[in-house]
Structure 1
Amino acid sequence: MASAIKPRGGAPIVTTLRRFLFAGLVVLTTSAALGLMIWALQAGGFDGLDVLLVLCFAMTLPWTVIGFWNAVIGLLIMRFSADPARAVCPLLAAADDSSPIDSSTALLSCIRNEDAVLVARNLDRMIDELVGAGVAAHFKVYVLSDSTWPEVIAAEEERIGWLTDRWRGVIEVVYRRRAENPGFKAGNVRDFCARWGAAHEFMVVLDADSLMSAETLLRMVRTLQSQPQLGILQTLMVGLPSDSAFARPFQFGMRLGMKSYSLGAAWWQGDAGPYWGHNALIRLRPFIDHCELPRITGEGPLSGWVLSHDQLEAAWMRRAGYQVRVMPTEGGSWEEHPPTLLEFIRRDLRWCQGNMQYLRLGRKALAGLHPVSRWQLRFAVMMFLASPAWLLLMLVGLLRFGNGDADLVYLSAPVLALFVLVMGMVFAPKLATLTDTLSRRAGRQRFGGGMWLILGSLTEVLFSTLLAPIMAIAHSLFLFGLVFGRAVVWGPQRRVTHGVQPLEAMRRLWPQTLFGVFAVLWLVLFASPGGLLLSPFVVGALLAVPIAVSSASPTLGRLVTKRGLWRTPDEIEPAPLVRAVKPHLVAATRQPSGAPSAALPEPLTETAD
């Protein structure tokens, strides 16, 4: 295998200037917001609670301000660039490139106690497209299992055996199960590298729910073939169409916010971009040589194997001299979003614990990191630390309503201006993409028309506003529990639509409910017009249980799907792969000539009451 040529020079001057400009904008905006808040709070006399408010507000700002400027830059790129993706990722192969594939790529499906039928179905569709493109000889599939449940292991052996026999002589499928799973997913990939890594130039890491088109895979492979300095190329992942009333607004909002945010981020991150753990193409030799994760020493939940491996692997790949970039194009790379609020929280808490482990990394692990990589690790930590800061900000704000002078502060022009500014920055990524999409006839049609796009956007904003306090409380309690040794249990994500019982929701969400009851009672007793600024954020906590139960209802999910609310382009103009795996959720169309020649049995369960 030929070794890639590592660039030893620094970033191009243009990229360096972009980073300084972006940092300046973030610092100035953050300073202006903090200054505006301090000015507003002085109207009622500046005391200890005001200092606490300012400190909490400062902790919540970084992600908000960065998201705002990413969105602004992304919008400008969308409006004024003929090819936004290549404008921010100039190394990207042209979409119509037909250069020969002369490398070997491993497709790794990393699973643990997952639905084996879903895994086999997705891999079968991907293999079929690669065969149709005439490149199957350059790919090999590895199903890497860490499963421990006997019934799941039996299902894996049966379904992956079926997949192996189906494509025997066309593309090789290897199934390997570890009896133990040291290192979790990262250890699973590391085991592959030790056994088979030398046989391939590249690998694509897939989750159980991952789906990638042959067109996207080949564009990525051609990009890495032609750019030996590129170590990781990460795709933008969009949600597969869902009939979950929880997943639909979430993936609709992600689809809107992701485009402008990702383009703006790629503009200044350049060659020190992120890796999100799956649906990415990785150059194997430098990954094997430079990206092995340490086991964090010590005791407690932040020690042991690293859960959030992807950020570190990206940072170390860049430290080794290889570029890490995002391929900011929509389509061709999909994943499933959690179908219920409880599953969504469980996934987030695993990320939370993994990101907090970065605080325990030693000097050796952090030495020599690219400055952008170092800041990405810090922001990964701040993303979750902002939740208790935001929650404390709300609590202190509520307590201030016991003061007769509260309205003097909260209804003052500076506070109202600050409120509008912060809300504008929070929703900027979605507003930016919405603005660009509404301005183009083709863009509106991709979401079912302008009316449906606007209706979906308004209801999604309401949904995300109600969700914010629920998630902030969940993060805050979990971070508090980490101090006392509480940790997440490494388990599979439940991916099919299913109902949530009220008692189960109350058992998991009683802290949010209690907070909501306290906040609403406090507002009722002490409310004045200024309390309206906080009311949207406390209602979500109060309604946590009804939201969890209703949004998980399969009946409601089928209803909003049938009515077309929160439709995404993958339902209006479905790609062949999406049409194949979600036929009941996308527009009825004639199967193209390249459709799979044989069908798998239906998934275990797509909807369960």
Structure 2
Amino acid sequence: MADQFDVSHWNLDRHAAGAGWRRLALFSAVAITTVAGVHLLAMALGPQVPLGLAIALLGVFALSFAWIVLSFWAAILGFLLKATGLHPLSLSRVGPGDGAVPPLRGRTALLVPVYNEQPDEVFARLETTWRSLEATGRADAFDLFVLSDTTVDAIAAEEEKGAEALRRRLGLGERLHWRRRAANVGRKAGNIADWLDLHGSRYDHMIVFDADSVMSGDTMVRLVALMDASPRTGMVQTHAEPVGRETLFARVLQFSARVYGSMLSTGHAFWQKGEANYFGHNAIIRVAAFSDHCRLPVLPGRAPLGGEILSHDFVEAAFMRRAGWFVWNLPTLGGSYEELPSNVVDYAVRDRRWIQGNLQHARLLGVRGLHWMSRLHLAMGIMGYLASPLWLGSLILSASIVLEHEIVGPSYFGRVPSLFPNWPQYNTGHVHGLLVMTACVLFLPKLLALVLRLGASSRGHGGRLAITLSVLLETLFSMLLAPVMMLFHSTFVLGILAGRAVGWPPQARGDRGMEWDTAVERHVGQVLMGVVAVLVIGNWAPAFLPWLLPVVAGLLLAPPLAVYSSRRAWGVGARRWRLFLTPEEATGERSVGRVLMTDPTRESALSGAA
């Protein structure tokens, strides 16, 4: 049977070579663009700006701009690959994982760690996943483990009942396992380590889920086939697409991720190749390699920067690559789903946990033996959250420069002693050039992603007019949300650096609306900061106020934005107007993703997953 297939086509390992020129091209583009941006800003500042302020602003701008530019060029690469129909690894029309699936070898465990979750929703998602797997005819190669770290006895009892009920419905017998740990040591990473010690020797691979994960059977089978054919591969990460939530906030983010996310992920897969990253779920892992090399250390010192590592995934990928195993990102597989928080506060609270975990990674950057790409991933994870205080710092420095100029006035004899005065210079050309460059970096990827979707795939988003209007409204929403998240992230970062640990509480799920009192309590500081900024700039530098309003508007509107975007009725209303549609909503085709759009606790909906 195996001879009927070109198994070598499924071998990811053979694509590991040749990454050098890809990374050189990307980093060269990033460096050139960043230098050009810094040059334009330096020329726009001119000799009138105090030297200390100028150096500080240029340094902060260079770091934050380089971070944005990296994503920009990855998106450009993703656009080119998708527009030409080329696979990011093979650079041909056919890539690893495409075509007929060869017979599977060995056994694979599906691991679902849970921690104080809603049992009925967890088991409904698992039933959707397993029925889809049964439809492939390959389910005999898989077993299912629900690994409970639940601390509430009543919830644990419901989990045990749910596992037994699902075992009967699916006819799995002893192939569906539920167990509850007595002590939540090491959180999710410790939960999986416990499974490795008890059961790992019986399995070749494990597919790790989160409690909100769902994956199609075809995708799981292809992941196993890829691992079978790739003896030097340790992990394959899929691109998980968000689905299933109905508040306006979640639907905007779901739409954004579906339209832009795949293009960006494809671009990153192009240059990362076998040194990609792991995001903690919706990925397949070689059990023996993970067990031998990916156990996490306990960092010396106290939390928040010491103790157990909260964000385990980046570190596990780094240790896997250090041991000589490849780590891949395959955004072309599809069929991988997750859920998003349904309002801005839940979204920020989830980020607060991730911020502490990623800041801990700074202590691992110097660990011996890590691949330089792994160090880069750790640094990128840190930078993903330091970008917010850097942006805040650049705004404060820019405002200080403007206020200094307006209050103190021009300095005719400034930085260097001279017999001749420095007359004020208004470098409007450089200012406009920097604005155009920044606008391109921020908005051109959105435009290119829209171009990709304006063909036949526009049907999956309601048609060309609907997707165009949705992109415009999503862009406006993102502009209003960005300064809100900037202040949330900046506050969290400063708090963690000051020694305030945030822990790891259960994640809020479901379509949770927000009341006005909660919104005002969480956003009052942001509103006050916006009011102060308007009053100060409006009084001392009114000509600068129009440039500040795009940032301040989001802060002033934060409470109503949080309240109304959390409304399920607003999200459903937007769907009636065909706004922010995802393919499952627009086409109604029978698929795992489509099942998730229904009430996950209804057995009638789940029965169609296959």
TM-score when scaled to structure 2? 0.90
What is the rounded CA distance, in whole Å, between the counterparts of 2:514 and 2:583 in structure 1?
28
Q: Which runs of 5+ in 2 are unaligned?
A: 1-10, 411-423
- 1:21 pairs with 18, 25, 29, which one? 25
Q: Which runs of structure 2 are paired with 1:550-589 in the superposition (5 Å)? A: 550-573=564-587, 574-583=589-598
1:164 maps onto 2:164 in alignment = no
- 1:32 pairs with 14, 36, 41, which one? 36
What is the rounded CA distance, in whole Å, between the counterparts of 1:43 and 1:428 in structure 2?
32
The alpha-carbon distance between structure 1 residues 495 and 46, as it changes in their structure 2 partners (threshold 3 A), is same
- TM-superposition CA deviations, 1:448-491 (whole Å, max 9, x none): 11111111101111111111111111111111111332121311
- TM-superposition CA deviations, 1:367-395 (whole Å, max 9, x none): 11111111111111111112111011112
Q: Partner letter of residue 31 of structure 1? A: V
Q: Partner letter of residue 87 of structure 1? A: L
What is the rounded CA distance, in whole Å, between the counterparts of 1:520 and 1:113 in structure 2?
44
Q: Which residue of 1 aligns with 2:448?
A: 432
1:204 maps onto 2:212 in alignment = no
What is the rounded CA distance, in whole Å, between the counterparts of 1:89 and 1:321 in structure 2?
29
Q: Which residue of 2 aligns with 1:127?
A: 130
> Aligned-pair distance for 1:243?
1.1
> Aligned-pair distance for 1:554?
2.6
What is the rounded CA distance, in whole Å, between the counterparts of 1:409 and 1:432 in structure 2?
37
Contact 1:241 1:568 in 2 (8 A): no
Q: Which runs of structure 2 are paired with 1:493-572 in the superposition (5 Å)? A: 493-572=507-586
Q: Which residue of 2 aligns with 1:81?
A: 85
Equivalent residue of 1:87, what SS?
coil
Q: Which runs of structure 2 are paired with 1:353-372 in the superposition (5 Å)? A: 353-361=356-364, 363=366, 366-372=367-373
Equivalent residue of 2:284, what SS?
strand
> Aligned-pair distance for 1:493?
1.6
Contact 2:238 2:334 in 1 (8 A): no
1:222 maps onto 2:225 in alignment = yes
> Aligned-pair distance for 1:28?
1.4
Contact 2:89 2:270 in 1 (8 A): no
1:399 maps onto 2:400 in alignment = yes
The alpha-carbon distance between structure 1 residues 246 and 169, as it changes in their structure 2 partners (threshold 3 A), is closer
Equivalent residue of 1:427, what SS?
helix
> Aligned-pair distance for 1:570?
2.1
> Aligned-pair distance for 1:48?
2.2
The alpha-carbon distance between structure 1 residues 258 and 474, as it changes in their structure 2 partners (threshold 3 A), is same
What is the rounded CA distance, in whole Å, between the counterparts of 1:548 and 1:473 in structure 2?
14
- 1:318 pairs with 308, 321, 338, which one? 321
Q: Partner letter of residue 253 of structure 1? A: S
Contact 1:106 1:139 in 2 (8 A): yes
> Aligned-pair distance for 1:522?
2.5
The alpha-carbon distance between structure 1 residues 85 and 436, as it changes in their structure 2 partners (threshold 3 A), is farther
Q: Which runs of structure 2 are paired with 1:23-62 in the superposition (5 Å)? A: 23-42=27-46, 44-62=48-66
Contact 2:89 2:95 in 1 (8 A): no
1:467 maps onto 2:470 in alignment = no
The alpha-carbon distance between structure 1 residues 122 and 88, as it changes in their structure 2 partners (threshold 3 A), is farther
Contact 1:26 1:65 in 2 (8 A): yes
**After the TM superposition, which of the residue ranges 545-554 and 529-538 deviates more from structure 2?**
529-538
Contact 1:88 1:267 in 2 (8 A): no
Equivalent residue of 1:246, what SS?
helix
Q: Which residue of 2 aligns with 1:415?
A: 431
1:476 maps onto 2:479 in alignment = no
Equivalent residue of 2:146, what SS?
strand
> Aligned-pair distance for 1:399?
3.4
TM-score when scaled to structure 1? 0.90
Q: Partner letter of residue 591 of structure 2? A: P
Of all paired residues, the percent bearing the same amino acid is: 36
- TM-superposition CA deviations, 1:117-172 (whole Å, max 9, x none): 11100111111122222222110000011111223112212211211222334671
> Aligned-pair distance for 1:579?
2.8
Q: Partner letter of residue 327 of structure 2? A: V
**After the TM superposition, which of the residue ranges 281-290 and 511-520 deviates more from structure 2?**
511-520
Q: Which residue of 1 aligns with 2:76?
A: 72
Equivalent residue of 1:203, what SS?
strand
Q: Partner letter of residue 435 of structure 1? A: V
What is the rounded CA distance, in whole Å, between the counterparts of 1:294 and 1:211 in structure 2?
30
Contact 1:241 1:570 in 2 (8 A): no
What is the rounded CA distance, in whole Å, between the counterparts of 1:89 and 1:299 in structure 2?
51
What is the rounded CA distance, in whole Å, between the counterparts of 1:128 and 1:385 in structure 2?
42
- TM-superposition CA deviations, 1:239-292 (whole Å, max 9, x none): 114211111111211222212211111111111001111000111111111111
Q: Partner letter of residue 292 of structure 2? A: D
> Aligned-pair distance for 1:296?
0.6
- 1:446 pairs with 460, 479, 483, which one? 460
Contact 1:446 1:568 in 2 (8 A): yes
Q: Which residue of 2 aligns with 1:380?
A: 381
What is the rounded CA distance, in whole Å, between the counterparts of 2:119 and 2:172 in structure 1?
22
Q: Which runs of structure 2 are paired with 1:93-242 in the superposition (5 Å)? A: 93-94=97-98, 96-169=99-172, 172-242=175-245
Q: Which residue of 2 aligns with 1:389?
A: 390
Q: Which runs of 5+ in 1 are unaligned?
A: 1-5, 598-609
Contact 1:238 1:334 in 2 (8 A): yes
Contact 1:136 1:171 in 2 (8 A): no
The alpha-carbon distance between structure 1 residues 199 and 409, as it changes in their structure 2 partners (threshold 3 A), is farther
> Aligned-pair distance for 1:32?
1.2
Q: Partner letter of residue 340 of structure 1? A: N
**After the TM superposition, which of the residue ranges 169-178 and 457-466 deviates more from structure 2?**
169-178
Q: Which residue of 2 aligns with 1:249?
A: 252
> Aligned-pair distance for 1:508?
2.0
- TM-superposition CA deviations, 1:228-249 (whole Å, max 9, x none): 1111111111111421111111
The alpha-carbon distance between structure 1 residues 316 and 292, as it changes in their structure 2 partners (threshold 3 A), is same
What is the rounded CA distance, in whole Å, between the counterparts of 2:321 and 2:104 in structure 1?
25
> Aligned-pair distance for 1:437?
1.7
Contact 2:342 2:513 in 1 (8 A): no
What is the rounded CA distance, in whole Å, between the counterparts of 2:176 and 2:328 in structure 1?
29
> Aligned-pair distance for 1:563?
2.2
Contact 1:247 1:337 in 2 (8 A): yes
- TM-superposition CA deviations, 1:158-194 (whole Å, max 9, x none): 2112112223346711001112111111111111111
What is the rounded CA distance, in whole Å, between the counterparts of 1:101 and 1:26 in structure 2?
42
> Aligned-pair distance for 1:98?
2.9
What is the rounded CA distance, in whole Å, between the counterparts of 2:536 and 2:89 in structure 1?
50
> Aligned-pair distance for 1:569?
1.3
Equivalent residue of 1:108, what SS?
strand
> Aligned-pair distance for 1:564?
2.1
What is the rounded CA distance, in whole Å, between the counterparts of 1:116 and 1:569 in structure 2?
28
The alpha-carbon distance between structure 1 residues 576 and 45, as it changes in their structure 2 partners (threshold 3 A), is closer
What is the rounded CA distance, in whole Å, between the counterparts of 1:583 and 1:10 in structure 2?
40
> Aligned-pair distance for 1:61?
1.8
> Aligned-pair distance for 1:10?
11
Q: Which runs of structure 2 are paired with 1:343-362 in the superposition (5 Å)? A: 343-361=346-364
Q: How many residues of Structure 1 are paired with residues of Structure 2 in the alignment?
A: 580
Q: Partner letter of residue 254 of structure 1? A: A
Contact 1:85 1:328 in 2 (8 A): no
